[in-house]
Amino acid sequence: MDQSKIDALRALPVPAFHHLIDGKHVPASDGGTLDIISPIDGQVLTTTAAGTAADMEAAITSARAAFEDGCWSSQAPAARKKVLMKWADLIEANALELAVLGVRDNGTEIGMALKAEPGSAAATIRYYAEALDKIYGEIAPTAGDVLGLIHKEPVGVVGAIIPWNFPMMIGAWKLGPALAMGNSVVLKPSETASLSLMRMADLALEAGLPPGVLNAVTGEGRVVGETLGLSMDVDVLVFTGSGGTGRRLMDYAARSNMKRVYLELGGKSPNIVFADAPNLDEAAKVAAAGIFRNSGQVCVAGSRLLIEAPIHDDFVAAVAKAAEAMRVGDPLRIDTHIGAVNSEVQLTANLGFVDTATAEGGQIVTGGHRILQETGGYYMAPTIVTGVTRDATLAQKEVFGPVLGVTPFATDDEAISLANSTVYGLAGAAWTANLSRAHRMIKSVRTGVMHINTYGGADGTVPVGGVGQSGNGSDKSLHAIEKYVNLKTAWIKL
Ligand code: TXE
């Protein structure tokens, strides 16, 4: 990474952003705009269109028309592949520009953003482009006088509602398989991180995606997101975000056309450290990175640290040392480890969780407060709270900030019981040199992803998805494709 190139890009003014509907950039139908505040300094960076219900309806109409027209849905797979491969190339070619724009919008440290945003988005789009002409239908094992064929058809119009923590990465997790299978998509980025994703959508058209196959509408979730959710013309909704919004989406589906709804809703993931872990120093550093990178705004963040009692104090000290060594600050400096919290609302919520944790008996080991206030930006010191009991708010509710709650345990059974004591089930980890114990943890901890002797970093070959109130369905890997196809049976009398 070259600091001077980053500095040059951050000095560029950011133009006002419009919707992308039917291949054209259009303002909101009533001319409304939303101020986009950069979390780096709290200043207005630019504006986006504040979409109206009519804007969203126009986008859905365009997506439906493109789907029925067959310009994409009926294209030969090899032709779709070519466009998606080109799109991945364009994302890569513009990676630094996209990453810097995204960081100015959402505050993620540039080192992580470059890899996790354009880097991961390009890899994801390429993965599904490469896969799409290797996915076959089936011939059923029927009696000889009939032929049973199972076709995989695109579902039609997909509505994709995206959060602010990794807009390009999570956007690509939905767009890659949806477009690869021939669907049209209406994208709704988050109010507080839409710019890089909107730019990425433009690149899809530049790569040759026909107008209308991908539309993107910015604005308030409760306006344009609700219209998307309630539409009679959207066949599948895919979402990453909060549980509250996830519930609403299910309600919208029930009140409209019973569209399929796939939710990824975050978690309260347990990171379980046994005294026999192969390398406790390494475990402490990875545990710190696993909660504090991107200011803890990671759905799979290891936000609950469960430590075997005999090593509790030493391990907490090692994690605190690692946390204090992480440089928090300007996310566009390449030597920054932790950037800005996405918004003032999120920062205030994080600090509220710390107050509640101490009121409920927790002790702050390090952090616990806002820092760098003089910059005008939203920065928080990595925070560790010990003495967090099983039912404490910090053990039960997702903070989505740089706040780690610590709880000791005495036995394997207690570790499993604590790990499974929330409504969530997205990710987790166990650190141990004992193979049998590791497998027992994999089987017994209720999660979608279980790490052993590491935390995070699973690539696109494996699914990520939650159980319990962490959601349903998976992103990533070939399994994600199931969300974007209908199975159609052809039963033929011979
Ligand atoms: O999420 P929302 P917010 C969690 C995390 C965080 C909390 C709140 O705990 O603190 O959610 O974040 C759109 N109809 N996660 O408020 O509201 C919205 O415009 C349709 C976990 O940002 O769920 C945005 O595009 N759409 C997480 C998207 O939903 C609506 C990632 C997510 O916003 C809508 C983000 C509505 N009525 C937050 N209301 C993860 N799992 O990684 C909002 N939206």
Structural domains in the chain, CATH included, are 3-265+471-491 (3.40.605.10), 270-459 (3.40.309.10)
CA 293 – ligand 1 centroid, Å: 19
Ligand 1 centre to CA of 242 (Å) is: 4
* CA of residue 161 to ligand 1 center, whole Å: 9
User: Please, which pLDDT band fits residue 200 given cuts at 50, 70 and 90?
Assistant: very high
- CB distance 238 to 158 below 8 Å: yes
Give Cβ neighbours of residue 485 (< 8 Å, ≥ 6 apart).
152, 153, 154, 155, 181
pLDDT tens digits for range 351-386: 999 999 999 999 999 999 999 999 999 999 999 999
> Does any ligand 1 atom lie closer than 6 A to the CB of residue 264?
yes
* pLDDT (average), residues 195-201: 98
* Angle value at C-alpha 425, between 420 and 427, nearest 5 degrees: 105
Residue closest to 25 by CA, chosen among 200, 198, 181: 198
Q: Is the CB of 210 under 6 A from ligand 1?
A: no
Cβ atoms of 312 and 408 within 8 Å: the answer is yes
Nearest alpha carbon, ligand 1 atom 39: 221
Q: Is the CB of 197 under 6 A from ligand 1?
A: no
- pLDDT tens digits for 50-107? 999 999 999 999 999 999 999 999 999 999 999 999 999 999 999 999 999 999 999 9
Distance of alpha carbon 265 from alpha carbon 239, whole angstroms? 8
Convert the pLDDT of each residue in 255-293 to its tens digit: 999 999 999 998 999 999 999 999 999 999 999 999 999
Matching residue, tokens 């994409």: 72
Q: Is 429 exposed, middle or buried (0-12, 13-18, 19+ CB in 10 A)?
A: buried
The CB of 444 under 6 Å from ligand 1? The reply is: no
Any atom of ligand 1 within 6 Å of the Cβ of 339:
no
For the chain, what is the mean pLDDT? 98
Catalytic annotation present for 299: yes
Q: Which residue is listed with tokens 């430590």?
A: 307
pTM for this model (two decimals) = 0.98
**Identified catalytic residue from 299, 308, 360, 398:** 299
CB contact set of 220 (below 8 Å; sequence gap of 6+): 34, 50, 51, 191
| Tokens read off for 397 | 């509710």
From 336, 289, 326, select the one nearest 108 (Cα to Cα).
336
| Gap between the Cα atoms of 370 and 385, Å rounded | 15
**Nearest protein CA to atom 24 of ligand 1, as residue:** 190
Q: How many residues does the chain have?
A: 494
User: Does residue 439 carry a pLDDT above 90?
Assistant: yes
Provide the edge-to-edge strand list for the sheet that holds 485-493. Answer: 138-139, 146-154, 485-493
Query: What pLDDT, on a 0 to 100 scale, did the predictor assign at position 1?
Result: 83
CA of 66 to the centre of ligand 1 (A): 28
- Encoding tokens for residue 151? 């076709």
Burial 188-207 (b: 16+ CB within 10 A, else e): bbbbbbbbbbbbbbbbbbeb
- Residue pair 90/72 in contact by the 8 Å Cβ criterion: no
